[in-house]
Amino acid sequence: MTFWIDTHCHLDAGELSADVAEVRARATTAGVAHCVLPAVGVFNFEAVRVLAHRFSDSYALGIHPLYVPRAQEADLQALDSELALRRSDPRLVAVGEIGLDYFVPALTQSPMRERQEHFYREQLKLARKHGLPVILHVRRSADKLLKHLRDLTPEGGWHGIGHAFNGSEQQAAEFIKLGLKLGFGGAVTFEPALQLRRLAAELPLEALVMETDSPDIPPHWIYRTAAQREAGQAQGRNEPGELPRIAQQVADLRGISLASLTSATTANALRALPKLGALLA
C-alpha cells in the first residue's frame, strides 16, 4: 500500500473552511488517499459527516474533553442516537475524539476533572454498545484512560487509536496490549521532543499510525513562536498534505525507507479502524 491515511484531521475547522476543497486536493496530490475526521461535540457532528462524504473520507462522532465544559448530559443521548442513526453509514468508523485532558488547568480541578471522566467513560460504553473503535485524546492522562479502557473492555477487545500519543514507553505498551495503535504527527518533528522521538523510533512498527491533527500541532517548518509572529513572520497552516514530510522524519528516526513506513502505517490504520478496509478496497 503506497498511499497515506491521515488518521486524524479536522477539515471542518474554521482555519480551513475558506479553501477546504483546495486543502483536500493538495493532500491527494501529496499521496494522502484518505482522511479521518473526528468530531469534537454535537455541534459539528453534521459538519464532519458532510465533509467525509464530500471528499470520500471517513468520520468519527464524539465529545472532546476540551468541549465537556459546554456539553450537556443530553449530548450523550444525542451521540447515542446519532450513532444508531448512522449505523449503516460505511464512513462512520469510530467514536471520537474522546478522552481526558489533564493539561488545561481548569480541567484538572473539581468538578470538571470528574465531569470529563464521566463523559469519557459514558462514551466508551457507547463505543462498546455500537461496536465501534475509539479515537482517544491523550494529554497527561494516559493512566486514567487505560484504567477505564480496562474496566470497559468489549468482547473481542478494543480497536482504535491513541491520538497524538505523548506518554511513556510503559504506557505505550499498555495501550498496544489493549489493541490500540498510537498516532504520531507534527510534534515528532521537533528535535527537543526527545522522548516522543525515541518512542517513534523504538515502538513496534505495527503500533504506529500517522496523523496531522490539522490545523493543529503544526510541524516545525510551519510553527512560529510568539516572538517570531510579533516580528512579522506569518504562522504557517497545518494541512493533511504535510503528512508525507512528517512521516519522512519518522522513517529517518527508525532508519527505514519512507515506502516501508507508508505500507506499515496504512495497514495499521486499517486494523485500528476496520471499516476503512471496505472504503479503500
pLDDT digits (tens, 9 = 90+) for 213-255: 999 999 999 998 888 888 988 888 999 999 999 999 999 999 9
CA 63 centroid distance within chain: 13
Residues, the chain, total? 281
Q: What is the pLDDT of residue 95?
A: 99
Interacting residues of 19 by C-beta distance below 8 A, sequence separation 6+:
none
Residue type (1 letter), 173? A
Would you state the cell numbers that stand for residue 137, as one nine-digit string? 485524546
User: CB of 101 within 8 A of CB of 116?
Assistant: yes
Give residue-wise pLDDT tens across range 31-58.
Answer: 999 999 999 999 999 999 999 999 999 9
User: CB of 180 within 8 A of CB of 160?
Assistant: yes
User: CB of 126 within 8 A of CB of 76?
Assistant: yes
**Secondary structure (3-state) at 104:** coil
Q: What does the angle CA 101 – CA 159 – CA 13 come to, to the nearest 5 degrees?
A: 50
Overall pTM > 0.85: yes
